[in-house]
Amino acid sequence: MKFNLLTASIMASLVLIPALSAEAKEATLVFCSEGGPESFNPQLGTAGTTFDASATPIYNRLVEFSPGSTETKPGLAESWTISPDGLVYTFKLRQNVKWQTTKDFTPTRNFNADDVVFSFERMWKEDNAYHKVSGGTYTYFAETSMPDVLKSIEKVDDNTVRITLNAPNSPFTNILALYSFSILSKEYADQMLKAGTPEKLDTNPVGTGPFVLVDYVKDSTIRYKANKDYWKGAPKFDNLVFSITTDAATRASKIEKGECHVMAYPNAADLPKLKADKNLKVLQQEGFNVAYLGFNVEKKPFNDKKVRQALNMAIDKTNLIKAVYLGAATPAVNPIPPTLWSYNKQVKDYSYDPAKAKKLLEEAGYKDGFETTLWYMPVVRPYNPNGQKMAEAMQADLAKVGVKVKLVTYEWKEYLKRQREGEHDMLQLGWTGDYPDPDNFLNTLLSCDAAKTSTSRWCDKNFDDLVVKARQVSDVKERTKLYEEAQKVFKEEAPWFTVAHSIVNEITRANVEGYKMSPLGSHDFQEVSLK
C-alpha cells in the first residue's frame, strides 16, 4: 500500500489506461474524485474523500442514510428498541451478512454482535488492543461526545447488542449512521493482531459493503470489484474506479472526454459549457452546509458584541454571493441551513449598512477603526468555492468603515491546526452537516464544549443551556422551540458573519442511471447502473 509520489505517477500512466480498457469489457464505473483518502478505516477519518473511499463502498453501519437523503433506515441492525427513559438501546442484528474475502482474509463466520462491540470498544476503550493502532485518534467519536454519552455496550447474544447511555441523547441513532461508526470485523482484527500486522485492519480493509478494495495507487487510483455476496444484492456493474483528480478543470475535461462517468464539484465558471453538452447531466441541489467568517471573541476588539455586529453590517453579502458563488448560493442568516428542521425564519439578518456600522464602531470606542487580520481558506470546499476572492471582497468592504485588514493563509492542515489553537483574529470556515439534526451544527460548532477549539471560541451560557437541553429532550416540538430560541441568541451575539449556503453541483455522463446526490456530501454508487 505504500508508494511514493513518483512511483504512483509512473504506475498510473503505465497501468491505468490499458487496465480500464480491459475492464470496459465488463462494466466499469469511473468516478473522478477530488482527493485521496487519509485511511481506509473511516473510524480514523475526518475528510469526505476518506469516507467516499472507505465507508461508502466497503463498510456498513448499524443505522444508515438512504441514498440521496438525510433519512435514516436500518443497516446492519434490522430493528431496535429504546427504553422509556431513553437510556437503553437494544439492537437486533441482521443475520446471514457475509464479510468480504480478500487476499489477507477468508472469513469463517458471518457478521455478529462481537463485531459491533469490537468496533465501538476500539474507539472507546484505551485498554482495547487496537485503540492506539494507526495513531489512536477518533475525531468523530470524540466530537459527538461518545466517551461521555456511552455507559456500556454489551453482547446479549450473537444477534443482539445492548447500548446503555449515561443520559438521554435524542440524536443518538442519527449519530450511529455517521461513517465513522462503520462496523469492522473482529475475526479479521484478531488474525492481524496475532500475525503482528494490526495496521492491516486500516490499510487492507474488510467490510460487509457493496465493493471490495482491489488496490490503491496513492493520490492516483483506487480500484474496487463488486461484492457478489453483498447482503442487499450485488452492484449492477463489475468494477468501480476512483480516478483521483484534484483540479476541477481537469475533472471537467475528463468527463467531457468520457474518461469518467461521475465527477464531483465542478468550477461554477465551467457549468454553462457542461450544461450544453448533451452527453452529460448536471445535477444540482441546495447544499446542507454553511460558510461563515468567525470572530475570535477571546481577542480584542472581537470580545465586544457591538464590534461583531458592526462588522456584520459592514460586509456586502449580496455582492459576495454574486462575485464568489456566481449566484449559486443563498445568503446565510442562521448557522443552520434552511432545509433543516427548526430553522428559524423569524430571525432577521443584519442589513448591509456601512453608516450604521461606523456608528456602532464609534460607540464601541473605535471611531477611527482598527487593524486586524483575516485568514482565508487555501482550498476549495463545497461551501466556499474561492476563499481568497471572498477575503479580498471582505477586505475592501471593511476598509470603508475604517477597519484595515491584512489577509493571511496557510497550507490547509496548518490552517486548521492554528485555528484550533486560536491564533487567528477573523477566519473563514464552513460546515457540511453529517446528520440531519440541528445538534450537528449548533452543539458541534457553537456550544461551550466546542469553544475550546472552535473558530469563534464563543461560549454563551444562554445559548449553551438551550442546545444542551435540546439534546436531552425527545419531543421534537420542544426541541424545535429550544433551537429556534438559540438561533435568536446567536444572531444577537453575532460570533460569526454568516456568509452562504451554497448550491452543490455534480456531473454524470448521460448513460449513468440511478445516481443520487447526497445532501451530506458523500458519493454512493451501490444503486447505480450504466446503460
- The pLDDT > 90 percentage for the chain reads 77
Tell me the CA distances in angstroms from 152 to 38, 96, 117, one per residue in order.
30, 26, 10
pLDDT at 501 over 80: yes
Confidence at residue 412, expressed as pLDDT on a 0 to 100 scale: 77
pLDDT digits (tens, 9 = 90+) for 64-109: 998 888 889 999 999 999 999 999 999 999 999 999 999 999 999 9
- Cβ atoms of 192 and 104 within 8 Å: the answer is yes
How far is Cα 49 from Cα 9, in angstroms, rounded to an integer? 20
Q: What mean pLDDT do residues 28-57 have?
A: 91
- Cβ atoms of 11 and 244 within 8 Å: the answer is no
When comparing pLDDT for 492 and 136, which is higher?
492
Band of the pLDDT at 9, cuts 50, 70, 90?
very low
How far is Cα 289 from Cα 473, in angstroms, rounded to an integer? 25
Cβ atoms within 10 Å of 266's Cβ, excluding its own: 19
Confidence at residue 417, expressed as pLDDT on a 0 to 100 scale: 83
Strands 160-165, 150-157: parallel, antiparallel or unpaired by DSSP?
antiparallel
Tell me, yes or no, if the pTM score tops 0.85: no
Q: What mean pLDDT do residues 37-46 have?
A: 89
The average confidence (pLDDT) of the chain is 92
pLDDT at 17 over 70: no
How far is Cα 293 from Cα 390, in angstroms, rounded to an integer? 10
pLDDT at 11 over 50: no
Q: What is the DSSP letter of 134?
A: G
pLDDT digits (tens, 9 = 90+) for 370-387: 999 999 998 777 888 889
Band of the pLDDT at 111, cuts 50, 70, 90?
very high
How far is Cα 403 from Cα 406, in angstroms, rounded to an integer? 10
pLDDT digits (tens, 9 = 90+) for 444-468: 899 988 888 889 999 999 999 999 8
Confidence at residue 20, expressed as pLDDT on a 0 to 100 scale: 47
How far is Cα 528 from Cα 171, in angstroms, rounded to an integer? 30
Q: Which of 183, 177, 139 is nearest to 436 (CA)?
A: 177
- Cβ atoms of 213 and 242 within 8 Å: the answer is no
Confidence at residue 13, expressed as pLDDT on a 0 to 100 scale: 37
How far is Cα 450 from Cα 411, in angstroms, rounded to an integer? 23
pLDDT at 7 over 80: no
Q: What mean pLDDT do residues 163-177 have?
A: 94
Confidence at residue 2, expressed as pLDDT on a 0 to 100 scale: 33
Instruction: Note the residue count of the chain.
Output: 531
Strands 262-264, 63-65: parallel, antiparallel or unpaired by DSSP?
unpaired
- Grid coordinates representing 266 are 465542478
Strands 239-244, 28-33: parallel, antiparallel or unpaired by DSSP?
parallel
Confidence at residue 354, expressed as pLDDT on a 0 to 100 scale: 98
pLDDT digits (tens, 9 = 90+) for 387-433: 999 999 999 999 999 999 999 999 877 888 899 899 999 999 999 88
When comparing pLDDT for 248 and 143, which is higher?
248
Q: 3-state secondary structure string, 312-347?
A: HHHCCHHHHHHHHCCCCEEECCCCCCCCCCCCCCCC
How wide is the angle at C-alpha 146 spanned by C-alphas 433 and 112, nearest 5°? 95
pLDDT at 56 over 80: yes
- Grid coordinates representing 508 are 454524470
Band of the pLDDT at 25, cuts 50, 70, 90?
low
Ordered DSSP codes for 372-427: EEEE--SS-BTTBS-HHHHHHHHHHHHHTTTEEEEEE---HHHHHHHHHTT--SEE
